[in-house]
Structure 1
Amino acid sequence: MKTYLKSTELLDFNNLTIQELINKRNWCQLAEEEKIAAVYNFVRNEIKFGYNSGDDIPASEVLRDGYGQCNTKSILLMALLRGVGIPCRIHGFFIDKKMQKGALTGVTYLFAPEKIVHAWTEVYYNNQWVALEGVIIDDQYLKQVRNKLNRFNNGYIGYGISVEDKEKISLCWKGKSTYIQSFSIIEDLGLFNSPDDFFIKYNNTNNRVKRILFNILRKRINKKLDLIREDR
């Protein structure tokens, strides 16, 4: 299990800001199940769903941004879990970009790859690996978009969500896997010990031109997502 507890360039849980957060929340004093729940709930609801400068940024940068998507939230979640002694790994996929429509619009959606690199964190709990994909979407955002999801392939997609039944979305961690985008998975890319290994091989933002364009547009996208959250 030591492999799944190591710090890496992206999982920089020895960073002062991350250590201060862990100590302030007293996460290390909790029992194993409570540790996982506390870290998961923090990343899910206190780090809003939004778009960072790239997929392969350190956990400390995701924390500083205060928002993230599937890949960057996975990096932060893994760093915090390993920082409190919980083994975890990353599972990679290709996912259909249609599920991003509504969150991404216009030129941004047009330039997004048809198959988006997607990842979730798996935590070792009760002698088995448990998927924590539900960490991606915060409650306030989900509340506003649940009824805007489009029917597609016997499920519901849109706004960064892809589920079989929109009425049965349950993102609270209770010891079992949580899912929020898995209904649109196209291809399983396998398991990796660290996000560093995964994003060297698969990356949505490794095209320099697309990365520059996306960074011009992403602040506008994040403002739009905040407006969705604030909608009354």
Structure 2
Amino acid sequence: MENYLKETRILDYSHETVQTLLEQRGWSSLDIVEKIKAIYNFVRDEIAFGYNISDDIPASKILKDGYGQCNTKATLLMALLRVVGIPNRIHGFTIDKALQKGAITGICYKLSPQNILHSWVEVLVNGQWYFLEGVIVDKPYLSKLQEQYIDCKTTFCGFGVYTDNFANPPIEWNNNNPFIQNKGINQDFGLFDTPDDLYSKHQQKLNFFKRLVFKNIVRHIMNSNVEKIRNGN
């Protein structure tokens, strides 16, 4: 159990920004289910869907950025849950890049790896593990995406979403397993106690040059494309 609560370089929950947020929100005074729900909703909706400089940045940096994708939102969610005493672990996968089409386009899409590193958080509640993958896409972004593709009610793949129920995807947590990208999973790397453990064994399949281009060019284009959707453009 200690492994599911420990602090690491990536899960830096003693950092001042994390501690200040905890004090401001008063999460520590809630019961276990309400703690998870409040933190899950915060990471889903108040941390906008977007692409950070890399997967292995610490929780405090994600909080400062104010945005994240599957892997970085997982990091922040884990850190915030651990700081209030909720045991958790991370499950690593890859997803097909088709899920990102629209957020990434043209030559950038063609040059991106077919399989993209993906993860979700698993949280222990009353002896049962729940999967919190639905935290990735914020509601304002999802609502605008649904407006743009209003005729689609069932399977939708693209713009960071892959679900069989696009009209009403299961993204709310209440002792259940919310999902928003899980239909794109094509490889299972298994369970890890921390993101540090996951990234020591698995990284995005990018060479040095492509990694540099992603950090400095591609992710900014992707974030711009996401913002256009969020703004209804």
Which category describes the TM-score, using the shorter chain as reference length? over 0.9
CA distance in 1: counterparts of 2:83 and 2:169, whole angstroms: 29
The SS at the match of 1:123 is strand
Shift of residue 149, structure 1, vs aligned partner: 9.0
For the 8 Å contact 2:116–2:205, the answer to whether it is kept is no
| Residues 1:33 and 2:37 aligned together | no
- Matched AA of 1:137: V
For the 8 Å contact 2:93–2:117, the answer to whether it is kept is yes
Q: For 1:1-232, what aligned pairs fall within 5 Å after superposition?
A: 1-146=1-146, 148=149, 155-204=155-204, 207-217=207-217, 218-231=219-232
Shift of residue 185, structure 1, vs aligned partner: 0.7
For the 8 Å contact 2:104–2:221, the answer to whether it is kept is no
The SS at the match of 2:79 is helix
Paired positions, count:
230
For the 8 Å contact 1:148–1:158, the answer to whether it is kept is no
Which runs of 5 or more residues in structure 2 are unaligned? none
Q: Could you tell which deviates more after superposition, 36-45 or 217-226?
A: 217-226
Runs of 4+ in 1 over 4 A off after TM superposition: none
The SS at the match of 1:167 is coil
Alignment deviations for residues 47-98 of structure 1 (CA, whole Å, 9 cap, x no partner): 0000000011101111111100000000000000001110000001111110
CA distance in 2: counterparts of 1:215 and 1:155, whole angstroms: 31
The SS at the match of 2:171 is coil
Q: Could you tell which deviates more after superposition, 220-229 or 21-30?
A: 220-229
User: Structure 1 length normalisation: TM-score?
Assistant: 0.94
For the 8 Å contact 1:149–1:159, the answer to whether it is kept is no
Query: Relative to 1, partners in 2 of residues 1:216 and 1:20: Cα closer, same or farther, differing over 3 Å?
Result: same
CA distance in 2: counterparts of 1:40 and 1:205, whole angstroms: 29
- Matched AA of 1:228: I
Shift of residue 205, structure 1, vs aligned partner: 6.4
The SS at the match of 1:216 is helix
Shift of residue 206, structure 1, vs aligned partner: 5.7
- Matched AA of 1:226: E
Query: Relative to 1, partners in 2 of residues 1:150 and 1:69: Cα closer, same or farther, differing over 3 Å?
Result: farther
CA distance in 1: counterparts of 2:80 and 2:22, whole angstroms: 8
CA distance in 1: counterparts of 2:59 and 2:163, whole angstroms: 27
Which runs of 5 or more residues in structure 1 are unaligned? none
